[in-house]
Amino acid sequence: MCHDPSTLVIQCLSSALDEYEKETEMRRTVYMCILFLLTSAVGFGGARVKMETIKNGVTQQVGWVYIEGANWLRIDTNVDVDTGEPEDSMIFRADEEVIYMVDHDSREYLLMDKETMGKFASGMSEAMRQMEEQLAQMPDAQRKIMEDMMKKNMPQAQGDFSVEVKSLGTEGDYQKYEVWVGGEKMSEVWATSPEELGIPANSLEVFKKMSAFYEELMEVLASNPLFGSMGTNPFPGFAQMNGFPVRTLDVESGSETHMSEASMTEFPDGFFDPSDEYKAKQIKFD
Q: Pairing between strand 279-280 and 108-112?
A: parallel
Task: Name the pLDDT band for 86 (thresholds 50, 70, 90).
Answer: very high
Rounded-to-integer distance, Cα 60 and Cα 52, Å: 8
> Would you place residue 45 in the very low, low, confident or very high pLDDT band (cuts 50, 70, 90)?
very low
Instruction: Name which of 77-81, 126-130, 266-270 the model is least confident about.
Output: 126-130
If one counts every other C-beta atom within 10 angstroms of the C-beta of residue 99, the result is 22
Interatomic CA distance for residues 169 and 115, integer angstroms = 44
In whole angstroms, give the CA distance from residue 239 to residue 216. Answer: 17
- Give yes or no for residue 137 having a pLDDT over 90: no
pLDDT average, residue stretch 130-137: 82
Highest mean pLDDT among 14-23, 72-81, 194-203: 72-81
Task: Judge whether 154 and 226 are in contact, CB under 8 Å.
Answer: yes
**3-class state of residue 234 by DSSP:** coil
Helix (H, G, I), strand (E, B) or coil at 80: coil
pLDDT at 125 over 90: no
- Whose CA is closest to 280, among 110, 76, 121? 110
pLDDT tens string 3-25: 444 444 444 444 544 554 455 45
Q: What mean pLDDT is predicted for residues 89-117? A: 91
Amino acid at 51: M
CA pair distance 257, 209, nearest whole angstrom: 24
- pTM listed for this prediction: 0.67
